[in-house]
Amino acid sequence: MSLLVKVCGMTSKEDADMCEQLGADFLGFIFHPSSPRNVDAAFARSVKTDGAKKVGVFVKQSATEVIETLKNGQLDFAQLHGGQNEEFCKAVGKEQVIKVLWPQKYDSLKAFQADIDRFAPHCTYMLFDAGKSGGGHGVAMEFEVFKDVTIPVPWLLAGGLSAENLEEALDTAKPNGVDLNSGVESEPGKKDKNKLAAAFAAMK
């Protein structure tokens, strides 16, 4: 399987087109009012892709609201970026769920592995982000942690990834995919063509 690439925080059709032309497999749309990259379902629906899957990023919505936004925004996946539990994943539907965990939140590898095992049966992909909650803060994590856990579903690595650290991240963590956001922006919500091109070149 070739490396999957998600670019998150779409706020304009131009950025979405540019990311897809460079080779993005997933485009992320953030539904979180306090985010500078927050959008609505109408905008997500208006973005037509050539094959890239559209992902809604949800933090505090109810399962009903997530399902409704997936439908109204014509989205393929729900990235559950809050503390949503297994029942929430089941309600949305395993085939549509990308479940987010934060490795740095755990005080032991055993606890981290336990949550991986707990959520893996209820999602199609997992995504591991830097920090202890939230996202888009541009901070990378220690990639070595992934050498000591077993992840039974395809997974994406996120958190401050850019041309500068992608090679190390891929060599060390060996993810199935990466999630780019703040590391390829000129300002929050505005993708930078040169940074994006450099990041895609680094992955090749």
Question: How many domains, in total, are found in the chain?
Answer: 1
pLDDT band per the 50, 70, 90 thresholds, residue 199? very high
User: Is-above-0.85 flag for pTM?
Assistant: yes
Q: What is the pLDDT of residues 91-118, one digit of tens each?
A: 999 999 999 999 999 999 999 999 999 9
How many CB atoms neighbour CB 78 within 10 A? 27
Interval 4-42: pLDDT, tens:
999 999 999 999 999 999 999 999 999 999 999 999 999
Residue 54 in 3-state DSSP? strand
Helix (H) or strand (E) holding 179: strand 177-180
CATH of the domain at 14: 3.20.20.70
Domain residue limits at 79: 4-203
Whole-angstrom Cα distance, residue 129 to residue 139?
Answer: 9
